[in-house]
Amino acid sequence: MAVCVAVIAKENYPLYIRSVPTENELKFHYMVHTSLDVVDEKISAMGKALVDQRELYLGLLYPTEDYKVYGYVTNSRVKFVMVVDSSNTALRDNEIRSMFRKLHNSYTDVMCNPFYNPGDRIQSRTFDSMVTSMMIQVC
């Protein structure tokens, strides 16, 4: 269960960011912002290394004492960043991958919506409800 989910555009500004409302939201925004550097580093490392496999899932970006941050980048250089609670014991890698796949599918649906202009903030209710289903139920 994620604590914070963010969708960041190619130009590194947020298209959508939502966190569990109990915590100080600014802290999560800051974490997502710092994780962007790690994402960029991984992307450029992928470009330089002569690796055949270029995966979209970036894996664990960096762990802090309370939280772990995971990243995923699409072919259109849109980044998804997810912050999960460390105390939530061993969310398996597969589960994180499937959460990112759901995010990617919903994002693609938003993109195909003719009323959505690429580059705007995401205001789709379907996307919202999909993200809610992925986040912790606190109250």
Partner 1 sequence: MADAVLFEFLHTEMVAELWARDPDPGPGGQKMNLSVLEGMGFRVGQALGERLPREMLAFREELDVLKFLCKDLWVAVFQKQMDSLRTNHQGTYVLQDNSFPLLIRMASGLQYLEEAPKFLAFTCGLLRGTLSTLGVKSLVTASVAALPTCKFQVVIQKS
Write out the residues near partner 1 by the rule CB under 8 A.
10, 46-47, 53-56, 73-77, 104-105, 107-108, 111-112, 114, 118
Rounded CA gap, 118 and 134, in Å? 24
- List of E strands, the chain: 2-8, 14-19, 57-63, 67-73, 79-85
Rounded CA gap, 69 and 134, in Å? 15
Q: Report, in Å, the least distance between residue 74 CB and partner 1.
A: 7
Looking at the Cβ atoms of 75 and 137, the one nearer to partner 1 is: 75
Looking at the Cβ atoms of 74 and 124, the one nearer to partner 1 is: 74
Looking at the Cβ atoms of 17 and 73, the one nearer to partner 1 is: 73
User: By 3-state DSSP, what share of the chain in percent is helix, strand and coil, each rounded to 5?
Assistant: 40, 25, 35
The amino acid at 116: Y
Q: Report, in Å, the least distance between residue 48 CB and partner 1.
A: 11
Q: Report, in Å, the least distance between residue 52 CB and partner 1.
A: 9
**Residue 85 and residue 67 in contact, taking contact as beta carbons nearer than 8 Å:** yes
Write the DSSP symbol of residue 116.
P
Looking at the Cβ atoms of 19 and 106, the one nearer to partner 1 is: 106
Q: Which residues is 131 bridged to in the sheet?
A: none
Q: Report, in Å, the least distance between residue 71 CB and partner 1.
A: 13
